[in-house]
Structure 1
């Protein structure tokens, strides 16, 4: 009888835990189902990006909420298109400025999907960093609820550059590759590594001509170190080969010397 009551109590506790866990596991958030976002862009150029949002009324479950957006692009134009479940357009809004807020996303309007498009000019770089590459906020979308609560749907950041910063970055990347190749060949390109580190520091300081020159020097030093290492290895292989030939010849001569004179009579 005691065992039956114990089993029944265990089942009750287990069922309660299942209900509790189900209540604490959040539903899926607004889903970003499509992205067309550039990973990098040159300062001063005009770029565009598009994202698509679905599963609009979950986490928290709500039949209506407000969409907000922000960007660091300049000369910005937004286009927010609302679609129903059949893919038909039900609304279109074109906010202005670097941010907008308060766009209603409502199930009562038939909205099942929202597409956000943005076009603008890539901003100047405030500070440069080689690793990780400097970025700017291309777009951030936020979901707001009545009462002031809000949460970020997602944010997209893009690497921005100038012609000179891009050239310096390319030179530094080539230097890093040359240094790794030299190390793989058994060389120790310490001078190249020192110039590489100085090139990165110059890049971070915005001194791109200096960074490029230092990186090119590092590449040359790394290549020279690799060639020197390869030459030394060839010399070692050659010397080893000569020693081996010498040993073989010496062995043959010694073997013949141990055979004695041949008997002319057989």
Structure 2
């Protein structure tokens, strides 16, 4: 092989090596599999809720690591259960407080699944939002390693409400459906916007009042549209009947005229 060919071969090898490194860097690291079970979508302020999540495929990246968690719930208890492939409990750890860390997952213990259960009280609402609805962090789980390495595993939020905010939201949703069905009349949209503003300010009585007015305006607009359509259909029907009657009259007249000519 000539020196030129060797040089080209070396350059090609170097390019392929760099390309392989870029692919390796771009490929996402294998992650722990997260399966959610019994996770509430919402919770009333002051009520107690429980969420459970199961972690599998624990060792795709590390054979030993620590699990850490956080939540927006209050008066919190965490229960972390380590289970082997046969479904038997290896051990169980409990933690109190909104944050925990140091729950070690070790392949040498034969752990195949980690089940995390968090129980706590839904916190007060700091700021109301109609769309999207106000929410809080139900739980966030991280895979951590000594030296500061951390990978996010799961972050799940849940909507929060009070009895008053729920009533106002239901009125808003009913109004929204009526407005959409009516083709989004401007007057109803204006009242609906006022209802949303009142909701997000925490003024639920005004929110309900404005939402009900928006729904009434939407229903009236839809009724007016239907009446207009009926009038149009009625006029069209009269025109059609007139045309048919005129055609029949002309036909009969032509027959009569033809008969006279033959007589």
Partner of 1:260: 257
Runs of 4+ in 1 over 3 A off after TM superposition: 1-15, 254-259, 261-266
Which whole-Å CA distance do the structure 2 matches of 1:22 and 1:244 have between them? 73
Q: 1:26 and 1:247, CA in 2 relative to 1: closer, same or farther beyond 3 A?
A: closer
Pair 1:227-2:223 in alignment:
yes
TM-score, normalization by structure 1: 0.88
Q: Deviations over 1:111-135 (max 9, x none)?
A: 2221100111111111100011100
Which whole-Å CA distance do the structure 2 matches of 1:143 and 1:39 have between them? 24
Secondary structure of 1:118 counterpart = strand
Match of 2:37 among 35, 45, 51: 35
Moved more, 164-173 or 5-14: 5-14
Q: 1:101 and 1:252, CA in 2 relative to 1: closer, same or farther beyond 3 A?
A: same
1:45 shift after superposition: 1.2
Which whole-Å CA distance do the structure 2 matches of 1:254 and 1:189 have between them? 47
Q: 1:255 and 1:93, CA in 2 relative to 1: closer, same or farther beyond 3 A?
A: same
Which whole-Å CA distance do the structure 1 matches of 2:24 and 2:45 have between them? 48
Secondary structure of 1:167 counterpart = helix
Paired positions, count: 260
Which whole-Å CA distance do the structure 2 matches of 1:116 and 1:231 have between them? 59
1:99 shift after superposition: 1.3
1:10 shift after superposition: 8.6
Secondary structure of 2:212 counterpart = helix
Secondary structure of 1:129 counterpart = coil
Which whole-Å CA distance do the structure 2 matches of 1:96 and 1:265 have between them? 111
Show structure 1 runs of 5+ residues with no match. Answer: none
1:17 shift after superposition: 5.4
Pair 1:50-2:52 in alignment:
yes
1:261 shift after superposition: 8.0
1:50 shift after superposition: 0.4
TM-score, normalization by structure 2: 0.89
Q: 1:6 and 1:236, CA in 2 relative to 1: closer, same or farther beyond 3 A?
A: farther
1:250 shift after superposition: 2.4
Pair 1:202-2:198 in alignment:
yes
User: What is the 5 A alignment of 1:114-153?
Assistant: 114-153=114-153
1:77 shift after superposition: 1.4
Q: Deviations over 1:175-227 (max 9, x none)?
A: 111111111xxxx6211111011111111111111111111111111111111
Show structure 2 runs of 5+ residues with no match. Answer: none
Secondary structure of 2:129 counterpart = coil
Partner of 1:168: 168
